[in-house]
Structure 1
Amino acid sequence: MKFLRVIALIIAVLFLLFCLVGSQRAWFGIIIFIIGLFLHKQYRKGRIQFSKSRYIITLGLLSGFILALTSPADTKPKPVKQTASEAKAADTAVKAEEEKAKEAEKKKEEAEAKKQAEQKRLEEEAKKQAEQKRLEEEAKKQAEQKRLEEERKKKEQEQAEAAAQEAERKRKEQEAAAAAAEPVQSTETFDNCTEMRKVHPKGVPSSHPAYESQHDRDKDNWACER
């Protein structure tokens, strides 16, 4: 009979350990089982009068089983033992991943720097083109102003020359008109007939510019005749 009790006790302990593997909450049933077992032992020795210890032992077994079944499954992955080569390979893989991440970050920074440099170059080119366009427009404007100024001066010069020519023409016309209106004056004068005959051997009539009454002694309107 004692052997059977030992076998039952071993089975009960193994059952509780199995429940403990399934869930940590099975400890509650193990504690109840130990308390019931302790009370049963004290009762058999006659130290206590409590005769319901078997119910406590049964309650501990049932509570451990029920708690093991109702506990949520432990989804946390268990650590896997790795060998030295596997650990080294894992470390190498981690380092390779870190190197790849660093290389990717470096490439990203280089691409960003290249992009900024290209944007800066484009902005500088745009500024240069705008400045060049402004200078060309300013030079074109100055050339146009110079051309207009030259045309204005040329036009003024032509107008001045035309006015001068017109004034000269009017002056000549006025002189011609004045010359035509004035009587013809003598342009030849002689002191005596001897000098006149050197130029006019036969003398001159009264209509001649060189005629003077003092040279016409016979008053026949012919001076210094022979």
Structure 2
Amino acid sequence: MTTTITPTSQTPLSRVGVMWLAAGAAVGGFAASTALSALLPADMRLLVGEGVALIAFVAAGALLAILDATTRRLPNRGTIPLAGGMLGYWLGLALTTGQWQLLTQAVLCAIALTIITGIIATIGSLAFGDVKLAITIGLLTGWFSWMLPLYAIAAGYLLAIPHAAILIARRRRHPDADNRLPFGPYLVAGATLVTFLALLAR
């Protein structure tokens, strides 16, 4: 006899799996951060640790950006563990450098940016996958400045303008075509740009 699994029975298991992935990523990020700091002199831990965080975000963000560009979606199993990994990494760096105020700032910025992007998504100009990606962007950029998360989102919108213009023109000629704008790549690019500039300003 074949047992049919309904979508409602799959969803809770899926959410539990994603949360386990996020917890594992947080532990891995914490371990990587503390291990890196143990190899470095105390006066280099902060700057090198921040640089490695940006590199890790670019690597993971690029994969999500490619996925969004090809499928028009950002899956929970990618965005939520990435946020967990970033949180664990900053926790480890705060522990080894004593920068607890930066960790607090990053967490508060992530919460605020999630609320802001959630409101925008409710209005309709963002997808909720973008909102979940914004958690990580808030953690990454919020470590450097209270305002940097907003600059990251603004940079994403600015970078997306040419693509949006092309889609608008295309929609007029082909109204039945898939003209959805994958915003994930531009969010990743905007966050990378402003974080890199923040690192240069250190």
The TM-score bracket by the shorter chain reads: under 0.3
**TM-score, normalised on structure 1?**
0.19
Greater relative CO, 1 or 2 (CA 8 Å, sep 6+): 2
**Bigger Rg, structure 1 or 2:** 1
**TM-score, normalised on structure 2?**
0.21
